[in-house]
């Protein structure tokens, strides 16, 4: 499943709507450092790789925008540990 993911900078989040439910990565921005605070996927949508796609999109967006990344969210931290191609983004 490929998601349509939107960056909503005015709400500090990345969001995809799946089966009428919002799947979200929340962050806050301090200068050029994006701190990912939450990755939220409803339990009924779990196991489909949605959180991974959201996280990858958020990290690719950070790279394009010249941001560094801190992961307060345990999912985002685990994703960064597993995907070394994003190691250069760590703040």
Query: Which among 12, 60, 4 is positioned nearest to 36, based on CA atoms?
Result: 12
- Residue 12 lies inside a defined structural domain of this protein: yes
Collect the ranges in the chain with pLDDT lower than 50: none
- Residue 73 lies inside a defined structural domain of this protein: yes
Please give the residue range of the domain that contains residue 62. Answer: 6-89
pLDDT attached to residue 42: 97
Domain CATH code at residue 76: 3.40.630.30
- Residue 1 lies inside a defined structural domain of this protein: no
Residues 69 and 91 sit within 8 Å (Cβ to Cβ)? yes
pLDDT attached to residue 2: 82
pLDDT attached to residue 25: 98
Q: How many domains does the chain have?
A: 1
pLDDT attached to residue 59: 98
- Residue 53 lies inside a defined structural domain of this protein: yes
pLDDT attached to residue 1: 74
């Amino acid at each position: 499943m490929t998601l349509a993911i939107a960056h909503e900078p005015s709400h500090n989040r990345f969001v995809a709507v799946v089966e009428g439910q919002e799947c979200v990565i929340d962050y806050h921005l301090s200068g050029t450092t994006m701190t990912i605070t939450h990755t939220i996927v409803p339990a009924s949508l779990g196991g489909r790789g949605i959180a991974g796609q959201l996280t990858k999109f958020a990290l690719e967006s950070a790279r394009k925008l010249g941001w560094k990344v801190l992961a307060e969210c345990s999912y985002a931290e685990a994703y960064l540990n597993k995907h070394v191609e994003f190691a250069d983004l760590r703040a």
